[in-house]
């Protein structure tokens, strides 16, 4: 490996098995290196919150984790600024495989390849009060599958009620925006659920939305 690799360590507590290591490379859908991608691993055998060790790949896409406790892990990656979504977020594409590896005591699991892509698209804009024009900082945004609202991805707006969100380019989806005290807005010609429309965007595409929520009538 060449270049500078930022390494992460997850030291096993005293008395545990000798730790191992994970080494590999991040590439895109064409097999080309993805430099400075964010890489992390998740234990496949544990539940609940915990530490998620993270590293940044070097200029050739190489990454390494040292001091990894033996076990089975899912290895995931993303590069949001280049429109590559998190491989662990199946809302983007449930068919993009992520590698799973077994780490053995005192051994390095090498040549792990993580494939990013296809790239997503972006929806950006701002949420405001339809009457006053003031930003609604409590607004939440949900993207959900066109065929089922049970498959979804949710987020909140920024401090100025703005948003810039990476969305799928591989499937059709829908969008709604909600906030306490306001009618829920749906993507479509008039913002109503009755006339809600699906969204389909090409990889790398951009869409700006100015969303004005109507206060709930009392």
- Tokens encoding 110: 């090498």
Would you tell me how many other CB atoms lie within 10 Å of the CB of residue 211?
20
* pLDDT value of residue 218: 75
* pLDDT value of residue 149: 74
All structural domains of the chain with their residue ranges = 8-115, 121-213
Q: What are phi and psi of 210, to 5 degrees?
A: -110, 105
Place of tokens 């494939």: 115
* pLDDT value of residue 134: 98
3-state helix, strand, coil in the chain (%, to 5): 0, 45, 55
User: pLDDT of the chain along its 218 residues, tens only?
Assistant: 344 454 555 444 455 789 999 999 999 999 999 999 999 999 987 655 567 899 999 999 999 999 999 999 999 999 999 999 999 988 887 677 789 999 999 999 999 999 999 999 999 999 999 999 999 999 999 999 988 777 889 999 999 999 999 999 999 999 999 999 999 999 999 999 999 999 999 999 999 999 999 999 87
CATH code that applies to domain 8-115? 2.60.40.10
Strands 38-43 and 54-56: antiparallel
How far apart are the C-alpha atoms of 110 and 75, rounded to whole Å?
12
- Tokens encoding 169: 């380019």
| Peptide bond connecting 118 to the previous residue in cis, omega within 30 degrees of 0 | yes
Q: Closest Cα to residue 213, out of 125, 131, 141?
A: 131
Q: Closest Cα to residue 87, out of 127, 120, 61, 115?
A: 115
CATH class of 121-213: mainly beta
The pTM (predicted TM-score) of the whole model is: 0.84
* pLDDT value of residue 47: 55
* pLDDT value of residue 169: 95
How far apart are the C-alpha atoms of 128 and 170, rounded to whole Å?
30
Is residue 179 within 8 Å of 134, Cβ to Cβ? no
Q: Closest Cα to residue 69, out of 152, 2, 9, 156?
A: 9
**Three-class SS state of 89:** coil
Place of tokens 């807005």: 185
């Amino acid at each position: 490996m060449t270049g500078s690799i930022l390494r992460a360590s997850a030291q096993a507590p005293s008395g545990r098995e000798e730790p191992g290591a994970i080494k590999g490379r991040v590439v895109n859908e064409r097999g080309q290196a993805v430099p400075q991608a964010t890489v992390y691993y998740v234990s496949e055998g544990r539940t609940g919150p915990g530490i998620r060790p993270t590293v940044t790949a070097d200029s050739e896409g190489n990454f390494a984790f040292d001091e990894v406790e033996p076990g089975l892990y899912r290895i995931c990656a993303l590069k949001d600024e280049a429109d590559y979504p998190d491989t662990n977020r199946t809302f983007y594409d449930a068919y993009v495989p992520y590698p799973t590896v077994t780490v053995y005591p005192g051994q390095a699991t090498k040549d792990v390849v993580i494939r990013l892509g296809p790239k997503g698209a972006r929806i950006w804009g701002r949420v405001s009060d339809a009457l006053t024009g003031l930003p609604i900082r409590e607004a939440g945004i949900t993207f959900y599958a066109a065929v089922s609202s049970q498959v979804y991805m949710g987020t909140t707006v920024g401090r100025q009620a703005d948003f810039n969100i990476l969305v799928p380019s591989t499937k059709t989806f829908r969008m709604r925006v909600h906030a306490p005290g306001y009618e829920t807005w749906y993507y479509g010609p008039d913002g109503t659920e009755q006339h809600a429309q699906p969204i389909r965007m090409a990889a790398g595409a951009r869409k700006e939305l100015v969303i004005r929520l109507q206060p709930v009538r009392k």
